[in-house]
């Protein structure tokens, strides 16, 4: 085998121009595939991260029926024992408590529907980094009538730090809910929908506002990794009374986003596969030319005693070598570009931003650096090489030394 590898490597080197041209086509395919996938996945990851970290968390537990009805009457006790059970699940990292519902907010001459979310400021900040998202003012102080609002909401309602927002809603079991909160901070949550309607207030204030003492609308659970979600959800389903509680993963909480992501990724995959198909045919063409050009040489090798299998191994290794050179070069070129767009995401202009916002996505093109995207290209090239190798397999098996040497 060492001899076959040596022969294949030297053959690649022998016809440098052919090797480089073919490898260059693989390189460009790999580069575009990596850059495209990284930017696409990065943009979605950014959107998802924004939604998961700002709002949904990875898993939520509610009173049964809450999510569908979003009713303030379907609340649950903020029980430490229950919280401990949630925290004991495998993979569970943090359990956040939240009381939220829609309300009508008023300030100056403006009135707007908002989502008032009562949170434990320290606990929520440890997961959502709300403090880091502040573009003005400061974060919440527990037990004070303060609010942090989204930047678009502040614009719509002409609210600045230090102004007061008045909210009215329906409280728990028909109570009237009325409250006023001083704006301490204005934040950019990264998600258009949140920027337009989110109002964070301390949990105790929300419980007072909704007349729901020691009650919560949801427990928000974070896991140590997104890969643990299924395991944790399963644990809850086994250990909680599913007649009383509903356990929902983020995929169930924001299905439209997940679906849009899947559709977008599927359409991109089709484009990538077409790109690879074109490159594959390019390589196949080179392989066919190479086989024709070296027919005499292969005939001689067979004549002196080299078996078709060994010849095929040599040619397949040459094709694989070209593929590897191309993928490695494509990855090397793609890495700094992907890294650049990861560190310096492109903020889209107004026209494109509107389209993104329609899908509740942050109008930001941001790449992700994920080794899996790079591995995928290696796998794709390997599979492509396997398919392309079918041609020399049959061609070399059929090759008759005398006919080959008559060329």
Partner 1 sequence: MKNTIIKTKNLHKTYQETKVPVHALRGVDLEIKKGEFTAIVGPSGSGKSTLLNIIGGLDNPSEGSIEVSGIDITSLSASQLIDFRKKNIGFVFQSYNLIPVLTALENVEFIMLLQKRDKEQRRKRAVDLLKAVGLGDKIHNRPNELSGGQQQRVAVARALASKPSFVLADEPTANLDSTSTANLLDIMENLNREENMTFVFSTHDQRVIDRAHRIINLEDGLISEDKIVKKNQPLSR
Q: How many residues bind partner 1 (CB under 8 A)?
A: 21
Return d(Cα 306, Cα 194) in angstroms, integer.
Answer: 69
Q: Is 346 in the site for partner 1 (CB under 8 A)?
A: no
C-beta of 235: minimal distance to partner 1 in Å?
A: 59
Task: Round to whole Å and give the CA distance between 294 and 53.
Answer: 60
Residues in 140-199 that interact with partner 1 by CB under 8 A: none
- From candidates 110, 173, 307, 343, binder to partner 1 by CB under 8 A: 307
**Closest by CA position to 143, among listed 126, 169, 118, 124:** 118
302 is an interface residue for partner 1 by CB under 8 A:
yes
- For residue 392, the minimal CB distance to partner 1 (Å) is 17
For the bound state, the minimum distance from the C-beta of residue 5 to partner 1, rounded and expressed in Å, comes to 12
- Say whether residue 1 binds partner 1 (CB under 8 A): no
Contact with partner 1 (CB under 8 A): which of 5, 297, 332, 390?
297
Is there binding between residue 301 and partner 1 (CB under 8 A)? Answer: yes
Establish if 81 lies at the interface with partner 1 (CB under 8 A). no
DSSP labels for 131-184? HHHEEEE----TTSSEEEEEHHHHHHTT--TT-EEEEEEE-GGG-EEEEEEEEE
Determine, following the binding rule CB under 8 A, whether residue 248 of this chain makes contact with partner 1.
Answer: no
Work out which of 1, 3, 176, 407 binds partner 1, going by CB under 8 A: 3
Question: Candidates 10-18, 151-159, 195-203, 272-280 — which segment interacts with partner 1 by CB under 8 A?
Answer: 10-18
Is the Cβ–Cβ distance between 184 and 147 less than 8 Å?
yes
| DSSP type of residue 407 | -
Q: How far is the CB of 322 from partner 1 (least distance, A)?
A: 16
State the pairing for strand pair 215-216/92-107. Answer: unpaired
51-71 burial, b if ≥16 CB within 10 A, otherwise e? bbbbbbbbbbbbbeebbeeee
Q: Which one, 40 or 395, has the nearer CB to partner 1? A: 395
Taking the complex as a whole, the smallest distance from the CB of residue 317 to partner 1 amounts, in Å, to: 13
Which of 204, 306, 335, 337 touches partner 1 by CB under 8 A? 306
**Cα–Cα separations (whole angstroms), residue 29 to 25, 33, 39, 127, 385:** 6, 6, 15, 39, 14
Q: Is the dihedral of CA 94, 343, 31, 46 positive or negative?
A: positive
HSE at residue 2, side-chain half, CA atoms within 13 A, is 0
CB of 286 to partner 1, least distance (A): 18
- The least CB distance from residue 394 to partner 1, in Å, is 14
Indicate whether 231 belongs to the interface with partner 1 (CB under 8 A). no
Asked if 405 touches partner 1 (CB under 8 A), the answer is yes
């Amino acid at each position: 085998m060492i001899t076959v590898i040596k022969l294949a490597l030297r053959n690649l080197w022998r016809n440098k121009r052919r090797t480089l041209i073919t490898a260059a086509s693989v390189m460009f395919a790999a580069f575009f595939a990596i850059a495209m996938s990284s930017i696409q996945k990065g943009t979605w990851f950014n959107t998802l991260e924004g939604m998961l970290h700002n709002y949904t968390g990875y898993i939520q537990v509610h009173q049964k029926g809450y999510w569908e009805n979003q009713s303030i009457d379907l609340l649950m006790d903020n029980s430490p024992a229950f919280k401990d059970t949630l925290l004991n699940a495998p993979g569970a990292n943090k359990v956040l408590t939240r009381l939220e519902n829609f309300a009508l907010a008023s300030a100056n001459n403006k009135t707007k529907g908002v989502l008032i979310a009562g949170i434990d400021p320290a606990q929520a900040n440890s997961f959502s980094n709300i403090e880091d998202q502040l573009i003005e003012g400061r974060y919440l102080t527990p037990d004070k009538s303060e609010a942090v609002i989204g930047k678009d909401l502040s614009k719509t309602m002409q609210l600045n730090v230090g102004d007061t927002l008045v909210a009215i809603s329906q409280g728990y079991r028909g109570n009237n809910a009325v409250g006023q909160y001083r704006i301490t901070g204005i934040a950019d949550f990264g998600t258009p929908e949140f920027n337009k309607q989110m109002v964070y207030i301390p949990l105790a204030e929300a419980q007072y506002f909704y007349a729901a003492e020691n009650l919560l609308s949801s427990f928000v659970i974070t896991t140590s990794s997104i890969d643990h979600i299924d395991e944790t959800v399963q644990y809850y389903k086994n250990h909680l009374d599913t007649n009383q509680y509903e356990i929902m993963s983020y995929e169930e909480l924001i299905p439209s986003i997940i679906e849009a992501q899947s559709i977008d990724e599927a359409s991109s995959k089709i484009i990538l596969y077409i790109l690879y198909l074109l490159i594959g045919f390019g390589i196949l063409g080179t392989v066919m030319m190479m086989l024709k050009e070296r027919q005499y040489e292969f005939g001689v090798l067979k004549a002196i005693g080299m078996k078709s299998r060994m010849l095929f191994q040599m040619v397949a290794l040459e094709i694989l070598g070209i593929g590897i050179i191309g993928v490695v070069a494509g990855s090397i070129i793609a890495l700094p570009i992907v890294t650049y767009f990861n560190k310096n995401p492109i903020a889209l202009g107004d026209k494109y931003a509107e389209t993104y916002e329609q899908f509740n996505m942050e109008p930001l093109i941001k790449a992700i650096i994920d080794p899996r995207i790079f591995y995928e290209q290696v796998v794709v090239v390997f599979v492509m090489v396997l398919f392309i190798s079918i041609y020399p397999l049959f061609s070399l098996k059929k090759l008759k030394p005398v006919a080959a040497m008559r060329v």
